[in-house]
Structure 1
Amino acid sequence: MSTIQQYLKEIGRGKDGARALSRAQACELLGWVLDGQAQPLQVGAFCLAMRIKGETAQEMAGFMDAVHARLPRSAAGASPVIVLPSYNGARRLPVLTPLLALLLVREGLPVLLHGSTTEGSRVTAAQVLEQLNHTPVTTLTTPQPGELVSIHTRALLPGLADLLDARATIGLRNPAHSLVKHMNPLATSGTTSLVVGCYTHPEYSISMEQTHAEAGSHALLLRGMEGEPVADPRRQPMMRGILHGKTLLTLSNEGGSVPAAPQLPSGLDAAATAAYTREVLNGERPVPAPIATQVQVIVDLHRQLTAHAATAGAQA
């Protein structure tokens, strides 16, 4: 029987000497961490070892397996749900993830936004949504078509929130910070979900695509706005649509210009961002072209998932 120490020996031999874990081994290891069975020193060793070695697609899929197995159950949804992971917040630009979420809701899609932050100086999507009179839930529920549900990571899985918070102690990111951008909180409900995953460095797009291929999941991948899953309103991003683990759609216009430079709020605070969001939703300001394109791509992918589910149901 394997132990935490044995797995740490495998992954902790440095960049060149470390060996990758299988999907099942990665699932078992992270399961121990999430369940509190690892000692603090072992958690730190896990975080540093994986930071140096880097995660393989099989390991990341195994980590997702561990998280999904521990998530709370909710009722199955009647329609595929759009999942927006929001973990970075505003640094130099306003956080527009709430705008994306509410534009998708306006299209009649069910949207689940989950997140937290390990940097207290940033404005979060949750703070903007609070200004828009949207209260997060404390118990996971499946959103209905045209509904937005938001939830904090700690309400989903306390052990995962603890692992995210370890960044403040260790000073470095760990696999949890990548994991949450792949995570489907409705995995145990049987609800089909499309995860909108984002990356800040182009090389991560490859590993994210490989992870979804390994897991056979559905996703839209793009270079997000400061790590948020919303297109940068100043430029057209490259986007990849992945269904059942296979890349079916690639819109390549990385860095392409937009028809007109958007007039963004002058401040990053939640009140100013919420006011801007209201103005766009009310038609007083235009939807930034890259975000409008992202919304349309998500709507199209949602339509394909809905059609596939209907076909599968008819054949059952």
Structure 2
Amino acid sequence: MSISSYIKEIGRGKRGARDLSREQAADLMAQLLDGQISALEIGAFCIAMRVKGESPEELAGFLDAVQPRLALVSTGGAPTVVIPAYNGARKLPALVPLLALLLAREGVAVLVHGSLSEVNADARVTSESVLRELGIDPLAQPGPVAAGQVAYAPTAVLSPALDALLQVRRTLALRNSAHSLVKLMNPVQGPALILTSYTHREYIEPMGHTLRLVGHAGLILRGTEGEPVADPRRTPRMDAVIGQDLLCVDEGETGSLAKLDELPTDVSAASTARYTRAVLAGELPLPEPIARQLRHVLALLPRLAQS
């Protein structure tokens, strides 16, 4: 098969391109994930969508195709939080594992998933590497995650085809639509609260619209170096999607970034794991922005169950 008719619509440049319908987007992504199109067409799709940008309806259609092709993780009906961790850290410690373990301590089942597709991947410390230091190895296959447990699933375990699309970045040196999809998908059986992040504030509404279109719940914030965990130096704005509601749950803070002497300057996986253990043991204070994010997540989970 061919997606040339779709590329003709989306590949006309920033001003001339037209959005696909949700159904067209689902068909395009299904063909791509099922290996029915050529490498040349994949590259054309990635560049065209990068120039045009995805509409919420297109993202919803892409997710419609992704969802039934995921190897889903079971959580046995426990309150579940999904954390996509795809960026890694360079300047600050990678604190997604700290947030995940704090949630697990409250009886939440937590699935972290990720795949680093940076061209210069060695320059970043990943959540996967910190979790390994903390004794949590990646899943080799989608296994159950119990209440009070943290699991890490590489994207290749959830969907090899989706991971392959992410890795196109290593060839083109540009993000593509897969990087948006993995931030919004739900890879567990049953409802979950997805923690997701943006780089620019104008993305709040489109991301919220997409989550509402596909029926996923989420907490949206400006993450730390692209990871969906609050910057420990200043609380970001946080918005939540529950049902068809998009509401601000925290206005965040303005002003200068705080200086936290407790944060390690060595952001290696081993150093970050030591810091994480110290915070969990009460030997170092939990940064207030992360404490606030934790409280918001725990307050949203009962509402997720009710909805």
- Coarse TM-score class (shorter-chain normalised): over 0.9
- Residue of structure 2 equivalent to 1:170: 172
Moved more, 53-62 or 256-265: 256-265
Q: State which of 132, 139, 142 in structure 2 corresponds to 1:140.
A: 142
- Residue of structure 1 equivalent to 2:156: 154
Q: CA deviation at 1:258?
A: 7.9
TM-score for the superposition, normalised by structure 2: 0.95
Q: Secondary structure at the match of 1:297?
A: helix
Q: Tell whether the 8 Å contact from 2:186 to 2:216 is kept in structure 1 after alignment.
A: no
* Aligned mates of 2:226, 2:257 — CA distance in 1: 20
In the alignment, does 2:132 pair up with 1:130? Answer: yes
Q: Tell whether the 8 Å contact from 2:125 to 2:269 is kept in structure 1 after alignment.
A: yes
* Aligned mates of 2:248, 2:15 — CA distance in 1: 35
**Can you give the 5+ residue segments of structure 1 that lack an aligned partner in the other structure?**
310-316
Q: Deviations over 1:54-112 (max 9, x none)?
A: 00000001111111010124446222310000000012111100000000001111100
Q: Deviations over 1:146-169 (max 9, x none)?
A: 111111001110111111110110
* Aligned mates of 1:282, 1:21 — CA distance in 2: 51
- Partner amino acid, structure 2, of 1:216: G
Matches within 5 A, 1:45-56: 45-56=44-55
Q: CA RMSD in A?
A: 1.7
Moved more, 35-44 or 246-255: 246-255
Q: Tell whether the 8 Å contact from 1:236 to 1:256 is kept in structure 2 after alignment.
A: no
In the alignment, does 2:263 pair up with 1:261? Answer: no
Q: CA deviation at 1:47?
A: 0.2
- Residue of structure 2 equivalent to 1:227: 226
Q: Tell whether the 8 Å contact from 2:219 to 2:239 is kept in structure 1 after alignment.
A: yes
- Residue of structure 2 equivalent to 1:8: 7
- Partner amino acid, structure 1, of 2:22: R
- Partner amino acid, structure 2, of 1:117: L
* Aligned mates of 1:23, 1:198 — CA distance in 2: 23
* Aligned mates of 1:78, 1:131 — CA distance in 2: 29
* Aligned mates of 1:169, 1:21 — CA distance in 2: 25
Q: Tell whether the 8 Å contact from 2:24 to 2:61 is kept in structure 1 after alignment.
A: yes
* Aligned mates of 1:247, 1:280 — CA distance in 2: 32
- Residue of structure 2 equivalent to 1:314: none
Q: Deviations over 1:117-161 (max 9, x none)?
A: 012221100000100111111111342211111110011101111
Q: CA deviation at 1:44?
A: 0.3
- Residue of structure 2 equivalent to 1:109: 108
Q: CA deviation at 1:206?
A: 2.3
* Aligned mates of 1:230, 1:78 — CA distance in 2: 24
Q: Tell whether the 8 Å contact from 2:110 to 2:151 is kept in structure 1 after alignment.
A: yes
Q: Tell whether the 8 Å contact from 1:216 to 1:246 is kept in structure 2 after alignment.
A: no
* Aligned mates of 1:254, 1:302 — CA distance in 2: 24
Q: CA deviation at 1:230?
A: 0.4
Alpha-carbon spacing, 1:76–1:24, altered in 2? closer, same or farther (3 Å): farther
Moved more, 249-258 or 207-216: 249-258
Q: CA deviation at 1:249?
A: 4.1
- Residue of structure 2 equivalent to 1:201: 200
- Partner amino acid, structure 2, of 1:182: L
Q: CA deviation at 1:261?
A: 3.2
Q: Deviations over 1:233-284 (max 9, x none)?
A: 0001100111113214431124357887352111111000000000000000
Matches within 5 A, 1:52-63: 52-63=51-62
Q: CA deviation at 1:116?
A: 1.1
Q: Tell whether the 8 Å contact from 2:73 to 2:145 is kept in structure 1 after alignment.
A: no
Alpha-carbon spacing, 1:305–1:246, altered in 2? closer, same or farther (3 Å): same
- Partner amino acid, structure 1, of 2:270: A
Identity of aligned residues (%): 49
TM-score for the superposition, normalised by structure 1: 0.92
Q: Secondary structure at the match of 1:242?
A: strand
Matches within 5 A, 1:275-294: 275-294=274-293
Alpha-carbon spacing, 1:142–1:255, altered in 2? closer, same or farther (3 Å): farther
Q: Could you list the runs of 4 or more consecutive aligned residues of structure 1 that deviate by over 6 angstroms after TM superposition?
A: 257-260
* Aligned mates of 2:12, 2:258 — CA distance in 1: 51
**Can you give the 5+ residue segments of structure 2 that lack an aligned partner in the other structure?**
none
Alpha-carbon spacing, 1:74–1:236, altered in 2? closer, same or farther (3 Å): closer
Q: Secondary structure at the match of 2:223?
A: strand
* Aligned mates of 2:175, 2:30 — CA distance in 1: 19
Q: CA deviation at 1:24?
A: 1.1
- Partner amino acid, structure 2, of 1:229: P
Q: State which of 174, 182, 185 in structure 2 corresponds to 1:183.
A: 185
